[in-house]
Amino acid sequence: MLQRGLPARQQRPALDLDLVWMAGHGRRQIDPDLFRLLEAIKQTGKLTTATAQVGIPYRQAWGLIALWSDKMGQPLVTKEQGRGTRLTALGERLLWIRERITARLLPHLESASSEIEQQLKEVLNEPYPALCLYASHDLALAELRDFLRTRSGPQLDVRFAGSLDSVVALCKSRCELASFHLPEGALGREVYRKYEPWLKPRVQRLVHFVRRTLGLIVAPGNPLNIGNLGDVARTKARFINRQRGSGTFFALETMLKESNIEKEDIVGFYSEEFTDLAVAAAIAGGVADVGLGIEAAARKLKMEFVPLFAEDYYLLAKRETTEREDVESLIAVLRSDSFRRIVHAYPGYDASLAGTITALSDATFP
């Protein structure tokens, strides 16, 4: 999306990677329009409305559904007099599988896309070298990377990793920026200890990126009536966790300890996903009952959300790095109204402090 008042980049289009789905004995590629069509049918309940939404003719849409229903061996949708069009169990499952696999692989695809971009820049001698950022996966961070692509100036080479791995990468000079996130209050002070051996208050600075709301993601209607981690343990709800080394994993560990709940009391504690979207997708598909993640991921997949705490997502850099012209340009973007409007469109996000530079000693909250 090109923002008014910002200079456009007069360069080649950015390259991105995506998944290709194939089926049948001939390994024929599934037309991406099929997935968009199934999603639109799920949302609208009417094939005519769905085809208009996707932008393909009615006859072509029905032919596409019939083709892949035949290849799958069962219908993907069903039409009933007076009840419109709806997905069958197979259609629902196909959409869910795509959602979950995409959410699981998205950070790897985005990291690979960044790597390809940098290799092309070297060959094409493009004037603006990208800032290398190792980062915990975040929806607003992907928006920032794409937003910078619409502008002249420095770009971001984003490599997604867990928060701890990101901080370690900065300390080992593998990147110029890293990210990690800390809950507010006493919880944040405890989680800070996980990163403390790698943090250097005299030479490093924090740049505030966003504040996010985290909580328990549950199925619509919250069928197990889960309101806290104690309820998760008591009901033996199937839990889906974030990967070890992530900031969310550290927060969960700390909350369990403070609540005197053993890890073994959480069914599925060692079942892990790499992103909050993948956690939400697991719950949406019935693989798990509950997980800890950001509100935006829950709302995106139409899951219910039980808020537990707010956290601050920071960018970490050496002090001299924050004083470089390209980084100052990045910070100016974070402080812009245009970027803050993008972030505020995500439920549970707040960018009012974006671009604020602070000392490490101010990272944990009173």
Question: Residue 307 corresponds to which tokens in the numbers above?
Answer: 């808020």
| pLDDT for the residue numbered 237 | 97
Mind listing the pLDDT tens digit for each residue in 97-149?
888 887 777 777 776 666 666 666 666 666 567 899 999 889 999 899 889 88
Name the nearest CA neighbour of 254 among 306, 190, 312: 190
Residue 10: pLDDT over 80: no
With bands split at pLDDT 50, 70 and 90, how would you rate the model's confidence at 351?
very high
Distance CA 253, CA 232 (A): 14
**Greatest mean pLDDT among 20-24, 125-129, 183-187:** 183-187
Q: For the purposes of burial, counting CB atoms within 10 Å of the CB of 311, is it exposed (0-12), middle (13-18) or buried (19 or more)? A: buried
Backbone φ and ψ of 133, nearest 5°: -125, 120
Question: Residue 350 corresponds to which tokens in the numbers above?
Answer: 């707040």
Sign of CA dihedral 27, 33, 35, 38: negative
Name the nearest CA neighbour of 306 among 274, 273, 283, 278: 283
Mind listing the pLDDT tens digit for each residue in 307-333?
999 999 999 999 999 999 999 999 999
- Chain centroid, CA 36 distance in Å: 20
Residue 18: pLDDT over 50: yes
Supply the mean pLDDT for the chain: 87
| pLDDT for the residue numbered 226 | 97
Distance CA 42, CA 301 (A): 13
275, HSE (Cβ side, Cα atoms, 13 Å): 24
CB-based contacts of 113, cutoff 8 Å, min separation 6: 14, 15, 16, 17
| pLDDT for the residue numbered 212 | 97
| pLDDT for the residue numbered 2 | 32
Sign of CA dihedral 131, 132, 134, 136: positive
Distance CA 283, CA 287 (A): 6
Share of the chain above pLDDT 70, in %: 88
With bands split at pLDDT 50, 70 and 90, how would you rate the model's confidence at 14?
low
| pLDDT for the residue numbered 327 | 94
Residue 5: pLDDT over 50: no
| pLDDT for the residue numbered 6 | 36
Give CA angle at 110 (32, 220), nearest 5°: 65
User: What domains can be seen in the chain, in order of their start residue?
Assistant: 27-87 (1.10.10.10), 106-362 (3.40.190.290)
Residue 93: pLDDT over 90: no
Least confident of 43-52, 74-83, 136-145, 357-366: 357-366
Residue 9: pLDDT over 90: no
pTM: 0.80
Residue 178: pLDDT over 80: yes
